[in-house]
Amino acid sequence: MNKILVVAEHDGKTLNASTARAVNCALAIGGEIDVAVFAVNASAVSTAAGKLKGVKRVLKVERAENAHQLAAVLAPQIAKLAKDYTHVLAPSTTFGKDLLPRAAALLGVQQVSDVMNVIDATTFERPMYAGNAIVTVKAPAAPCILATVRTASWQECGTGGTAEIVSVTTDAAVPAHTRFVGLKAEKSDRPDLQSAPRVVSGGRGVGSKENFAVIYKLADKLHAAVGASRAAVDAGFVSNDLQVGQTGKIIAPELYVAVGISGAIQHLTGIKDARTIVAINKDPDAPIFQVADIGLVGDLFQILPELEKELDEL
């Protein structure tokens, strides 16, 4: 039988929703599922992880060095724990992308990145070439399989589980050559870009940081998260955590509104799984219109205020 270990992503206090998506992928593989929480004090996060449906046990791996989730510190511990598992999964977020390959190399395993679909316990589908090809890969079963889970391809698993919570220790030696200095997190009361059902994104066409106010206003009307193209981030209109695309966040909202975004391949990769794509762009030939379910050609500075007004009247 498969024994699957899912590495929890968290900030020390709350469990990140990407964990529940990775658990859903584990359910698709099938077998016994454990979740590992690496922290100084893992209690709160473990309680949350224990409620995820399908999880058998939560492993609390507590030690002082685990305070900042550094890959160099966690990877040797994961490599030790992996001995008891057929699969180790982590979400394909910056956390999981940084961490899991390091553990894979310690185990001599070629990792599978960005699993979007499970064919069987050793065969998976994953995207390549900015999502322009979907490949089927078969991973050697021994010593075990390490994979990151493309979160946009998986819903969060349900809750209501009653996993057993156990403390484990590993004798892994962890290095001191890597030190956490600080995190500059962009504080926002808006919905989280990676899990929001609605997203409004602005591109270079928005023109400036000040002009981005029109994007925020529309997002507020729609209770949507705010995203951006790379060009908008590079130009300093918004911070890097809002970038959507091949090298930013891959998202799958119910509604994606692209405003002043041309629709480069690298951007489209990030939104392919959105249920409805709306494009607002003054260039009728912009490539974004080829994928948009609803396109509106025109000047965003005229359209957005009008749209807000109409939404108010609903």
Ligand X SMILES: Cc1cc2nc3c(=O)[nH]c(=O)nc-3n(C[C@H](O)[C@H](O)[C@H](O)COP(=O)(O)OP(=O)(O)OC[C@H]3O[C@@H](n4cnc5c(N)ncnc54)[C@H](O)[C@@H]3O)c2cc1C
Residues in 190-249 that interact with ligand X by CB under 6 A: 203-205, 229-232, 243-248
Q: Is 314 in the site for another protein (CB under 8 A)?
A: yes
Task: Tell which residue, 286, 297, 295, 292, has the closest CA to residue 204.
Answer: 286
Q: For residues 168 and 81, is the Cβ–Cβ distance under 8 A?
A: yes
What is the footprint of another protein within residues 203-232 (CB under 8 A)? 230
Phi, psi of 241 (to 5 degrees): -65, -10
Residue 193 Cβ vs another protein, minimum distance, rounded to whole Å: 9
Task: Tell which residue, 262, 264, 265, 216, has the closest CA to residue 239.
Answer: 216
Indicate which of another protein, ligand X, none lies near residue 23 (CB less than 5 to 8 Å, by partner kind).
none
- Residue 170 burial (CB count, 10 A): 16
Indicate which of another protein, ligand X, none lies near residue 135 (CB less than 5 to 8 Å, by partner kind).
another protein
The sign of the torsion formed by the CA atoms of 42, 48, 49, 54 equals: positive
164 or 283: CB nearest ligand X: 283
Indicate which of ligand X, another protein, none lies near residue 49 (CB less than 5 to 8 Å, by partner kind).
none
Distance from first CA to last CA of the chain, Å, rounded? 54
Q: Is 95 in the site for another protein (CB under 8 A)?
A: yes
What is the footprint of another protein within residues 243-262 (CB under 8 A)? 246-247, 249, 254-255
5 or 286: CB nearest ligand X: 286
Length of the chain: 314
Q: Is 306 in the site for ligand X (CB under 6 A)?
A: no
- Residue 110 burial (CB count, 10 A): 13
User: Per the structure block, which two tokens stand in for 206?
Assistant: 């928005």
Indicate which of another protein, ligand X, none lies near residue 310 (CB less than 5 to 8 Å, by partner kind).
another protein
160 or 181: CB nearest another protein: 181
Q: Is 260 in the site for ligand X (CB under 6 A)?
A: yes
Residue 121 Cβ vs another protein, minimum distance, rounded to whole Å: 14
Largest CA distance in the chain: 63
Q: Is 153 in the site for another protein (CB under 8 A)?
A: no
Q: Is 267 in the site for ligand X (CB under 6 A)?
A: yes
The whole-angstrom separation of Cα 261 and Cα 283 is 10
191 or 248: CB nearest ligand X: 248
* Amino acid identity at 16: N
10 or 230: CB nearest ligand X: 230
